[in-house]
Amino acid sequence: MNIQARKINFIQEFLRIDSEELINKLDKFLHIEKSKIYEQELKPMSMDSFNAAIDQSEDDAANGRVVEAKELRKDIEGWK
C-alpha cells in the first residue's frame, strides 16, 4: 500500500473516532512527532550565511525595503 492510500485509510479511521480523549492524544502525538522531525532537520547556520543575512537586512533597511510593525499587524488582521 502506498503512502497516499495509507493516508486516506488513516483519515477514514480518524473520522470514525467518537472519543475526544483519543483525538486529543492523536493530536498531541502528531505535534510531538512533527516537532521531532523539524528539529532533526535543523542545521546551524554558518557564520558566512549569518553575516550575509545581516548584510542583506542592513541593505534592505537602508534602501527602504522594510515594513513597519504597525503596517504588518494591519495586513495580518486582513488575513483573518
Tens-digit pLDDT profile for the chain (80 aa)?
799 999 999 999 999 999 999 999 999 999 999 999 999 998 899 999 999 999 999 999 999 999 999 999 999 998 97
Contact between 26 and 14 (Cβ < 8 Å): yes
Domain residue limits, the chain: 3-41, 47-79
Residue recorded with cell 493516508: 7
- Say what the pTM is: 0.50
Residue recorded with cell 558566512: 48
Q: Report the alpha-carbon distance of residue 15 to residue 37 in Å, rounded.
A: 25
Q: Report the alpha-carbon distance of residue 54 to residue 57 in Å, rounded.
A: 5
What does the pLDDT read at residue 71? 92
Contact between 60 and 66 (Cβ < 8 Å): yes
What does the pLDDT read at residue 80? 74
